[in-house]
Structure 1
Amino acid sequence: MNLIKNDPDYILGIDGGGTKTIARLQRLGTEQQWQVRGGASSLTNDFELALRTCESLIEQLLTLSGARREQISIVIGLAGAGNKDKSDKFTHQLAKDFRCFELCTDAKTSLYGANAGQPVAMISLGTGSVGATLTDNGHSALKGGWGFTIGDEGSGAKLGVLIIQSILAELEANNEIVSSLGKALCHKISAGRDKLIQWSTTAKPIDFASIAPLAFELNDECPTAKAVLAQHVKNVERLITKTRGDLQLPVVLLGGLAEPTKPYLTPSILALLIPPKGNALDGACFLAEQLINKKNKENT
Structure 2
Amino acid sequence: MEATQYLIGVDGGGTGTRVVLADVRGTILAQATGGASGLGLGVARAWQAIEAACTQAFDSARLRLDWSTCAMGCGLAGVNNRDWLAEFIAQAPPLAALDVQSDAYTTLLGAHGGQAGVIVAVGTGSIAAVLERDGTWAIAGGYGFPSGDEASGAWLGLRAVVHVQQALDGRVRPDAFSAALLGQMNVADRDALVVWLCEANQTAYAALAPVVLAHRDHPVAAALLAQAGADIAKLVDALDPEAALPVALCGGLAAPLAAYVPASYRARLRPPRADSAHGALELARRASVGVGAGAGAGTVRGPGAAA
Identical-pair percentage: 32
The CA RMSD over aligned residues, in Å, is 2.2
Report how far residue 264 of structure 1 moved. 2.0
Aligned to 1:160: 157
Structure 2 distance, partners of 1:258, 1:57, is: 24
CA distance 1:101–1:270, shift in 2 (3 Å): same
- 1:2 deviation in Å? 5.7
After TM superposition, the score normalised by the length of structure 1 is: 0.87
| Partner Cα separation in structure 2 for residue 279 and residue 89 of structure 1 | 26
Q: Residue 200 of structure 1 aligns to which amino acid in structure 2?
A: L
**Is residue 223 of structure 2 the alignment partner of residue 227 of structure 1?**
yes
> How far apart are the structure 2 equivalents of 1:159 and 1:245?
26
Q: What code does the residue aligned with 1:84 have?
A: R
* Equivalences, count: 288
Residue identity opposite 2:216 in structure 1? N
1:208 pairs, out of 191, 194, 205, with 205
- Indicate which of 98, 114, 117 corresponds to 2:114: 117
Query: Match for 1:93 among 91, 94, 112?
Result: 91
The 5 Å alignment of 1:16-31 reads: 16-29=12-25, 31=27
Query: Separation in 2 of the partners of 1:30 and 1:191?
Result: 48
Which residue does the alignment assign to 2:304?
A: none
TM-score normalised by L of structure 2: 0.86
**Match for residue 48 of structure 1?**
44
Q: Is the 8 A contact 1:216 1:225 kept in 2?
A: yes
For structure 1, which runs of at least 5 residues remain unmatched after alignment? 296-300
Match for residue 80 of structure 2? 82
Larger gyration radius, structure 1 or structure 2: 1
One-letter amino acid matched to 2:183: H
SS at match of 1:199: helix
Q: Secondary structure of 2:271's partner?
A: coil
1:39 and 1:30 map into 2 onto residues whose CA distance is 25
- Residue 31 of structure 2 aligns with an amino acid whose one-letter code is Q
Structure 2 unaligned runs (5+)?
Answer: 292-307
8 Å contact 2:112–2:273 — kept in the other structure?
Answer: yes
Q: Deviations over 1:260-299 (max 9, x none)?
A: 011122210101111110110110012222333446xxxx
Distance 1:50 1:2, change over 3 A: closer
Q: Distance in 1 between matches of 2:271 and 2:126?
A: 18
- The residue number in structure 1 matching 2:130 is 133
Residue pair 2:104, 2:129 contacting (<8 A) in 1 also: yes
Question: Do the aligned residues in 2 keep the contact of 1:55 with 1:94 (CA within 8 Å)?
Answer: no
TM-superposition CA deviations, 1:71-93 (whole Å, max 9, x none) = 32210111112221221122122
Highest relative contact order (Cα 8 Å, sep 6+), 1 or 2? Answer: 2
